[in-house]
Amino acid sequence: MSVRSHFEISNVITFQHQNKQFHLNSFPDINKIAHVHNNTTNTLFYLTKDGKAYIVEDKRIHLLNENEEIKALDAHYSNHLIVKKDAAYNILDNNCVKLPIIESDDKFIKIISSGKRCFVFLLTEKGKVFGIGENIDEIFGKDGQFIKKNEFTLLNNLLDTVTSKIVDIQCGYTCCTVRCENGDCYGAGYNYYLNIGIERQGLVTQFTLLDQLKGKVKQHACGNFHGLYLTFDNEVYGCGVKSR
């Protein structure tokens, strides 16, 4: 399931975005692909299970990392984010931020932002969530008052709110939803189009449970101003307005 062509795959042969088609079976390390991302400029990124990151642009394929494993990546027209061993990088402006210290048996599994660019979320395998940037439209919820622009901060209020380990994060233009291991989803940020799925128009200033889907969601995705939720019963729920 995908809203903005950002999804996990195991065996993908063809990926189509707008009017451009990528035949992945001819790419290097095709059998090892873990994640595929694209931005709005018809550029495709993919990350392999052994930490190799490739960029495909105008039918040319480049390996982003020669010797160092990349743990996570995210791609938008305004930022290309990668996580290496010691830091998170925006490879468009060559900016980097030191990663926060986590437990030795934990690891970073996801970095995500949006086309707005001014905020970033970082997720670990044990469900720890860190943020950095601007708390635009209250996207960090109650943790927004502690967020810094040049250092990752643990989102303690979010972690105290959820009742199960966080396993995924998705971002719209200025909203965020997290999904927990028990099927619960919580959202914060811009909700004027009811795009988070919380039936209250306006800004959601703290991470709030999506009551209608409590315990039901196995996968979710966000567009700029809409969201999709796939349940364990394979039902799909949508909310918000269509993004262009």
DSSP string, 58-73: TTEEEES-SSS---EE
| Cα-based distances in Å from 26 to 13, 32, 60 | 9, 13, 12
CA pair distance 115, 77, nearest whole angstrom:
7
Of the candidates 203, 207, 102, 84, the residue with the CA atom closest to the CA atom of residue 152: 102
The pLDDT tens digits along the chain (244 residues) read 333 333 333 444 455 545 555 566 667 776 676 666 665 556 677 778 887 877 777 667 777 766 777 788 777 656 677 788 778 877 666 678 999 999 999 999 999 988 777 899 999 999 999 999 999 999 999 999 999 999 999 999 999 999 999 999 999 999 999 999 999 999 999 999 999 999 999 999 999 999 999 999 999 999 889 999 999 999 999 999 864 4
Q: Is 182 exposed, middle or buried (0-12, 13-18, 19+ CB in 10 A)?
A: middle
Residue recorded with tokens 């196995």: 218
pLDDT of residue 54: 76
Q: Return the pLDDT at 5.
A: 35
Q: CB of 104 within 8 A of CB of 91? A: no
Measured between alpha carbons, how far is 81 from 33 in angstroms, rounded to an integer? 18
* Amino acid 63: pLDDT: 78
Residue indicated by tokens 């048996």: 105
37 vs 5: CA distance, rounded Å: 7
Please report the pLDDT score of residue 25 as a whole number. 61
- C-alpha closest to that of 155 among 224, 166, 114, 175: 166
Element (H, E) at 187: strand 185-190
pLDDT at residue number 1: 36
Chain-centroid distance, C-alpha 62? 23
Q: Which residues contact 196 (CB under 8 A, 6 or more apart)?
A: 172, 175, 177, 187, 188, 189, 190, 204, 210, 227, 239, 240
- Stated pTM of the model: 0.80
Integer distance in angstroms from the first to the last C-alpha of the chain? 18
Provide the pLDDT for residue 191. Answer: 96
DSSP track, 146-163? G--SSS-EE-HHHHHH-S
State how far the alpha carbon of 161 is from the alpha carbons of 36, 180, 200, in Å.
31, 11, 19
